[in-house]
Chains A and B, each alone.
Chain A
Amino acid sequence: MILLDQNTRGIVQGVTGRVGSVQTKWMVEYGSSLVAGVTPGKGGQTVHGLPVYDTVQETVERHGANASVIFVPAPAAKAAVQMALEVGLKLVVVITEHVPVHDSLAMKRMAQEHGAWLLGPNCPGLLTPSVGKLGIMPGNLFRPGPVGVVGRSATLTYEVAGNLSAAGLGQSTAVGVGGDMVTGSRFLDVLRLFEADPQTEAVALVGEIGGTAEEEAARFIKEMTKPVVALIAGRNAPVEKKLGHAGAIIRGGQGTPQSKVAALAAAGVAVADSPAEVARLVRERLRRD
């Protein structure tokens, strides 16, 4: 397992909000080791058994918090991340969608400066089966086992994990890095952890068209010892509208489904056509090893 294990002591920022509160209940029911919640101005309340504080600082001092999952509205997300990083939390998960790109960039750079892991924004968080979850992944789809799962799109990641579970292939940890253009962590970062994780024997990578994260991942996968199976969603999607030249120059021909499939195949990745095929290919690769 990676990032989330028995030593995780999680807090929920935005715990008193409509979504934060419901999701806190489900995280607690899944057995996640949450120690507190934070909503500035609402300190002293209790939400689903968790004490609520005004600041992240208090949760570190009183409960030894070391990870946070954030459900605050988009305009408040950057400040919430900063609050968590500045008191030393090393894992910060931002569920919030529609965060402005410039705020996401700032969060990503702040996390790098603090040597912390940032997942999201606009991500489902992560789940280590039978240990716990920080985020919104539906627990009923996951089973413990040897397959690391990492995805950009939240619900497609569930579908792939669900297909793995249905095929009898459990997961070591499932990580959603987030669907936005700029995310705190990318495929590459998470693949490094899976490669080093003794429980993980194979990785399922849930990619999609747009951006260049899959091509970037392919360069690292060449050096990996563990088998990787990938899905690239959107091969039939309408072509992206042409934007500025700068974007095209940066991508340099990357970002298309063809480019992603070619880069991954050249790195020895089995590229599946559907989530069900991901499960079949993972099973094959595990047998072979």
Chain B
Amino acid sequence: MMLLEHMGKAELAARGLPVPRGIVATSHDAAYEAAVALGGRVVVKAQIPVGGRGKAGGILRVPNPSAASMAAGSLLYKKLLGHQVRSVLVEERLNIVHELFLGLAVEPGSGRYLALFSDQGGINIEEVAAQTPARVRRLWLDPLQGLPADAARQLAAGLVEEELLPELEKILAGLYDAFRERDAIIAEINPLALLADGRLVAADCRIEVDDDALYRQPQWQTYKQSLLDERERRAQEIGVSYVALDGDVGLIASGAGLGMASLDMLRLAGLEPANFLDTGGGINRELMRRAVELTLYPGGVRGELVNLYGGINPMVEAALGIVDALRAMPRRKPLVVKLLGNRQEEAWAILEAEGVPVVKVVQTEEAAGKLAELLAGVGR
């Protein structure tokens, strides 16, 4: 889950990092007032949880409060990069002479954090990293050890003026604290702006927070909810993950990898998935009933493949939940179950007694083919 820019900056400011003066506004009137308070010349920035805003027209520089109000009006409640803009950040304009990049990320291979620094910050940082890797310094940090005292020097010495290093050290320390304390996977300041008066300011900030850590970051649970659409919210309630796709066939799988392989198999069988629900390892009868409800009931869905292994999941409970969901449907749609693992024979019997076609072999392609056959029989 990515924090909005102003939320990330609040984390930085709370740790003493320099951020621009700014005010969050949710109406054009509020944007006007904010611009007045900030001296008139401001930048109005759409608050959406995704990168690439600037290039998509989500950052507008304006000369006065009236223009700020119009800019806010043109951004608010519009869709930008797939996200509805619900607020804008109105900020003082900065007199930037140079843009730096400072980032921290989890590096899965080594089990360490990776700190990144470049003197070529800004929106083209990825191209800089690809074309001139030497301009992006890397420093691996041991999570068990903490931040070394000379980390900023190791990252930046030779790339920036010597007198900036003490300030950079403070900024890195604050970013590091925010990264750890807030369960961030990525925390980056880009650009870290060098101003004409010699100050360093975090002009933009992106913090990606680990969804699995939200139980200990309760301050963001409401925000997380606001990012979900209706189906995703229902999926979250029952503890599964749900992805909407463009086709007309439902898919439930007990695991993301199996689900992705099932998507491939459905496509090979000429079917286009409408959704993909990963049950994870917490199946019970009610979860399964609601999972089928979520994926098979919607109007545009013609049929469904359920692909399960137990594993950790109880197959008999799963079968009972599927039957519950089907019995509650006024007009049943074709549904094929492939299910193997613990108490599989009992589970098969429950499904077959209800007339559900069961595939009892390990080849998912057979199940996908069976569903395609049934759907062809029903007609489009």
Question: Smallest Cβ distance from B250 to chain A, in angstroms?
Answer: 16
| Residues of chain A with a CB closer than 8 A to B365's CB | 274, 276
| Residues of chain A with a CB closer than 8 A to B263's CB | 234, 236-237
| Residues of chain B with a CB closer than 8 A to A245's CB | 51, 101, 103, 125-126, 188, 190, 206
A116 on interface, CB distance cutoff 8 Å: no
**Please, what's the 1-or-0 string for A112-140, where 1 marks a CB less than 8 Å from any CB in chain B?**
11000000000010000000000011101
- Size bin of chain A's contact surface: 35 or more
A154 & B255 in contact (Cβ 8 Å cutoff): yes
A209 on interface, CB distance cutoff 8 Å: yes
A105 on interface, CB distance cutoff 8 Å: yes
Q: Which of B17-25, B154-162, B308-316, B324-332 contacts A (4 or more CB under 8 A)?
A: B308-316
Q: Which of A151, A159, A234 has the most CB of B within 10 A?
A: A159
A213-B108 Cα distance, complex, nearest whole Å: 9
B260 on interface, CB distance cutoff 8 Å: yes
| Residues of chain B with a CB closer than 8 A to A156's CB | 255, 257-258, 260-261
Do A155 and B344 contact each other (CB < 8 Å), given the known contacts A238-B243, A243-B51? no
Q: Which of A6-14, A49-57, A93-101 contacts B (4 or more CB under 8 A)?
A: A93-101
A204 on interface, CB distance cutoff 8 Å: no
Question: Smallest Cβ distance from A168 to chain B, in angstroms?
Answer: 13
| Residues of chain B with a CB closer than 8 A to A136's CB | 281, 311-312
B298 on interface, CB distance cutoff 8 Å: no
B130 & A253 in contact (Cβ 8 Å cutoff): yes
A101 & B130 in contact (Cβ 8 Å cutoff): no
**Please, what's the 1-or-0 string for B168-181, where 1 marks a CB less than 8 Å from any CB in chain A?**
00000000000010
| Residues of chain A with a CB closer than 8 A to B258's CB | 153, 155-156, 158-159, 233
Do A112 and B212 contact each other (CB < 8 Å), given the known contacts A156-B255, A252-B130? no
* Between-chain CB contacts (< 8 Å), 5 pairs: A100-B212, A109-B143, A154-B312, A244-B206, A276-B365
What is the interface of chain A, defined by CB distance below 8 A to chain B? 19, 22-23, 26, 74-75, 95, 97-102, 105-106, 108-110, 112-113, 124, 136-138, 140-141, 151-159, 162-163, 165-166, 179, 181-183, 186, 206, 208-209, 211-213, 216, 231, 233-238, 241-250, 252-253, 273-276
Closest 6 CB pairs of A and B: A153-B257, A162-B362, A155-B255, A234-B260, A156-B257, A246-B103
